[in-house]
């Protein structure tokens, strides 16, 4: 086990001893385990999975960084939303709004970039909520 912190500008979203964390990076998805080689790398929008004592916790994350020293890992990201708190319908609406804004801001580089960031955030949330829902239905059908 190792100590994990998931931190956003607003709060510490998760802190505790974990068995593993899986997250999207600029070089692809990685799994961090105890005694992992020291590492600092970028975190990309997507799903971060925390595994501890046989349980999984999924979070939608945006861009950020992860620092690993072998005994602990720190994820610093703009957002880290727990999958079980996400509303797929609201995410779909926010995604559509971001796509509309991107089409309206095609010639405004700053506005387009901001709309693209919002779209990437909503796509990460959507992927996470769908992944969480499919795992939950798989688990409940096995019971």
| Residue 45: domain span | 2-83
pTM of the prediction?
A: 0.74
Backbone angles phi, psi at 124, to 5 degrees: -65, -45
Question: Are residue 57 and residue 114 in the same domain, yes or no?
Answer: no
Q: Same domain for 27 and 57?
A: yes
Return d(Cα 111, Cα 122) in angstroms, integer: 17
How many domains does the chain fold into? 2
Distances in Å between the Cα of 59 and the Cα atoms of 108, 126, 132, 141 are: 32, 11, 9, 23
| Cα-Cα-Cα-Cα dihedral sign, residues 90, 129, 120, 14 | positive
Instruction: Please indicate whether residue 124 or residue 35 has the higher confidence score (pLDDT).
Output: 35
Give per-residue pLDDT as tens, 78-124.
989 988 877 777 777 777 877 787 777 767 778 778 777 777 777 77
Please indicate, yes or no, whether residues 15 and 76 belong to a single structural domain of this protein: yes
How high does pLDDT run on average in the chain?
A: 85
Residue among 7, 94, 77, 90 at smallest CA distance from 41: 77
Q: Do 90 and 131 fall into the same domain?
A: yes
- Tell me how crowded residue 61 is: count the other CB atoms within 10 A of its CB: 28
Q: Domain holding 7: CATH number? A: 2.60.15.10
């Amino acid at each position: 086990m190792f100590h994990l912190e998931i931190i956003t500008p607003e709060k510490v979203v998760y802190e505790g001893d974990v068995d593993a964390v899986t997250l999207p990076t600029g070089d692809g998805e990685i799994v961090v385990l105890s005694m992992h080689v020291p590492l600092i790398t970028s975190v990309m929008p997507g799903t971060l999975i925390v595994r501890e004592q046989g349980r999984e916790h999924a979070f939608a994350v945006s861009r950020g960084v992860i620092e690993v020293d072998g005994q602990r890992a720190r994820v610093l990201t703009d957002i880290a939303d727990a999958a079980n708190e996400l509303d797929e319908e609201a995410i779909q609406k926010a995604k559509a709004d971001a796509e509309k804004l991107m089409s309206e801001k095609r010639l405004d580089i700053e506005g387009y970039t901001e709309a693209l960031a919002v779209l990437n955030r909503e796509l990460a949330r959507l992927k996470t909520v769908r992944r969480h829902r499919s795992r939950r239905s798989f688990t409940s059908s096995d019971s």
